[in-house]
Amino acid sequence: MKISTKCRYGIRAVIEIAKNHNGTPTKRKDISDVQGIPNSYLENILITLKHNRIVSSIRGVGGGFVLKRAPEEITLLEIFEALQGDLNLLDCIEMPEICDRNVNCIIRPIWVEVQKAQKEVLRKVTIKDLMDKEKSDIPEYLGKL
């Protein structure tokens, strides 16, 4: 699995928005400046995150972006799938019928396990975990793995 720049930037943007959770909305320009994400690229990322109900936008002078849910309820898997698509290593994992070798394929069970492991790691780590890690020297999120 190769993680796209869009996905990495999206995670950083959600963390930045989460810093103001239950406070004032976070402006796109502030996210761009603090995280070093090009503003026009960030706009597309935020639109995708909004369509996937991870963030919402508030219009007006005091507007910006807010999380739709608490940081401890948003996982990396959710952000990953919103920005990069389904985490399928191979089409035959989800649809074995497309491969005429699926019954006798000795490597398929390994690919299934690799995919499950990747999803489980990303499902266990929340935005709050990352924010807590940023505040401390102890990588707390690793204890969940």
Give the pLDDT confidence of 28-85 residue by residue, as tens digits: 999 999 999 999 999 999 999 999 999 999 998 889 999 999 999 999 999 999 999 8
Q: What is the pLDDT of residue 143?
A: 54
Q: How far is CA 23 from the centre of its chain?
A: 22
Where do the domains of the chain lie, and which CATH numbers do they carry? 5-144 (1.10.10.10)
Task: Find tokens 């699995």 and name the residue.
Answer: 1
The band of 142, judged by pLDDT with boundaries at 50, 70 and 90, is low
Amino acid letter, 99: C
In this prediction the pTM is 0.84
26, 65 Cβ separation under 8 angstroms:
yes
Higher pLDDT, residue 96 or 142: 96
Helix, strand, coil shares, percent, the chain, to 5:
60, 10, 35
Report CA-CA distances (Å) from 28 to 4, 112, 139.
Answer: 20, 38, 28
The band of 109, judged by pLDDT with boundaries at 50, 70 and 90, is confident
Residue 144 has pLDDT above 70, yes or no: no
The C-alpha atoms of residue 41 and residue 56 are separated, in whole angstroms, by 17
